Amino acid sequence: MGVGPAMREMTLYGVSFEPIGKQPIVLLKTADDDKFLPIWIGHAEAAAILMKLQGASAPRPMTHDLFTDVISELQGEIVRVTVTELKENTFYAQITIVQDGRELEVDSRPSDAIALAVRCDAQIFATDDVIDESAIDFQADDEDQPGFVTASSLADLDPGEFRKFLETVTVEEFASSLSEHLAAEEDVELEGDELNEADEEDEESA
């Protein structure tokens, strides 16, 4: 059996907003130092992560809750999730499930993997290659050094902006943004439904 890529354990630092476009971002932090790995995610996945972090529950099982329940009923356990690589600005991940003494690896988006990890208390890892390429090393302020060093696309942020960026968004702010986003999607869906109904009426009258 070959040796897999070197990995480092990560902690879930929080869910925040990208400063300019307000796109949700999940922030992972290396467990043994101060490297931050920002991963842009969708509103639905951000809500799923934030909901669990806040101890909230939905009246009916959400997708990630359902997946967790199914794995449990099949006598499986999600033991870890790993951000495995970055290709063409897209992160990839794997979910490791143990069942009947076997380890199963399932490909996943990082956002879904993290949403499952917080529900199962599973460990979160990232490969050294991903950390080296995309993590932000947040160093202490120094008169002769910038406040941080980065090899990522966030290199143009100044230290002050990045400190604000690292602050976890409040539940109220996130809920407001999420509601606006979902409302906009709902309007689009309603418009689509109205168009479909109009088409059906036209067909019936034809």
Report the topology of domain 7-169.
Answer: Bifunctional nuclease domain (3.10.690)
d(CA 61, CA 64): 8
Q: How buried is residue 82: exposed, middle or buried, by Cβ count under 10 Å (0-12/13-18/19+)?
A: buried
Q: Identify the pLDDT of residue 202.
A: 54
| Phi, psi of 52, rounded to the nearest 5 degrees | -70, -40
What letter would DSSP give residue 143? Answer: T
Specify the pLDDT at position 149: 25
pTM over 0.85: no
- Reading the chain (206 residues) residue by residue, the pLDDT tens digits are 445 679 999 999 888 776 667 788 888 999 988 888 989 998 889 888 888 887 777 788 889 999 999 999 999 999 999 999 999 889 999 999 999 999 999 999 999 999 999 999 999 999 999 999 988 876 534 443 322 222 233 444 444 554 555 554 444 554 455 555 445 545 544 555 555 555 555 555 55
Q: Helix-strand-coil percent breakdown of the chain, rounded to 5?
A: 40, 30, 30
pLDDT value of residue 147: 27
35: how many CB neighbours lie within 10 A of its CB? 19
pLDDT of 130: 94
What is the reported pLDDT for 198? 52
